[in-house]
């Protein structure tokens, strides 16, 4: 006997789960300043490691701690592009912006896939200086376990550099100067 698969209900279920995840992520967030401090530390540590100024062991320990601090609050993980799309719609941003965000993040993700590097879409909520909640869409990726520092540097550069137009955060990762009038944080 073939069981009937409730397609429509599944979609509604995914949507309501996403809604819950977004609400939960917004209920406890890092401030933008906290996030930027952690990301700066990650970039610095990665660069030291790529230059072989930090041992493999110390790198793993410290980067693990920083990832933990960065990801302890304010995050929704999306495993597919369509889930990511749905979540962005639930954040009430306009279609034009959603299109741009999807194209940008998909470029990161496709590059990661082509390099066989594990990655996922994320939306990160942060508290802005004026108290409002902003959100930052991104793709995060891990490095293959046995990759050398040189290979990891190359992976980082290729994935970060993949979109046609880079965001401020991409530029910071690549050590490119950032101009202030390019916002990549969205507000509801």
For residues 98, 114, 17 and 11, what is the CA-based torsion angle, rounded to 10 degrees? 80
Nearer residue to Zn ion within complex by CB, 106 or 167: 167
Q: Which is nearer to Zn ion, 114 or 148 (CB)?
A: 114
148: number of Cβ within 10 Å? 13
Provide the minimum distance between the beta carbon of 139 and Zn ion in the complex, in angstroms, as a whole number. Answer: 7
How far apart are CB 5 and Zn ion at their closest, in Å?
A: 36
Minimal distance, residue 32 CB to Zn ion, in Å: 17
- Binding map of Zn ion across residues 114-153, x = CB under 5 A, - = no contact: ----------------------------------------
Alpha-carbon distance of 10 to 121, in angstroms, equals 21
User: Which residue among 38, 149, 170, 186 contacts Zn ion (CB under 5 A)?
Assistant: 170
Q: Binding segment for Zn ion among 32-40, 59-67, 94-102, 163-171 (CB under 5 A)? A: 163-171
Q: Does 83 help bind Zn ion (rule: CB under 5 A)?
A: no
Task: Report the alpha-carbon distance of residue 74 to residue 78 in Å, rounded.
Answer: 13
- Measured from the CB of residue 67, what is the shortest distance to Zn ion in angstroms? 18
How does 117-127 read in b/e, with b if 16+ C-beta sit within 10 Å? bebbbbbbbbb
* Selected binder of Zn ion within 109, 119, 156, 167 (CB under 5 A): 167
Q: DSSP assignment of 121-159, as one string?
A: EEEEEEE-TTS-EEEEEEEEE---TT--HHHHHHHHHHH
Binding site for Zn ion (CB under 5 A): 167, 170
């Amino acid at each position: 006997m073939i069981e009937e698969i409730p397609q429509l209900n599944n979609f509604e279920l995914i949507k309501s789960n996403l809604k819950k995840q977004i609400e939960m992520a917004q209920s406890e967030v890092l401030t933008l300043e906290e996030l930027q401090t952690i990301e700066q530390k990650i970039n610095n540590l990665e660069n030291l490691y790529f230059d072989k100024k930090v041992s493999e062991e110390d790198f793993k320990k410290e980067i693990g701690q920083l990832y933990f601090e960065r990801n302890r609050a304010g995050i929704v993980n999306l495993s597919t592009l369509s889930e990511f799309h749905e979540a962005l719609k639930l954040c009430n941003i306009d279609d034009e912006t959603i299109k741009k965000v999807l194209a940008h993040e998909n470029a990161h993700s496709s590059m990661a896939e082509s390099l066989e590097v594990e990655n996922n879409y994320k939306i990160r909520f942060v508290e802005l200086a004026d108290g409002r909640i902003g959100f930052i869409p991104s793709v995060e990726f891990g490095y293959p376990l046995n990759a050398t520092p040189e290979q990891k540097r190359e992976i980082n550069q290729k994935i970060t550099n993949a979109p046609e137009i880079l965001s401020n955060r991409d530029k910071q990762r690549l050590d490119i100067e950032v101009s202030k009038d390019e916002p990549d944080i969205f507000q509801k």
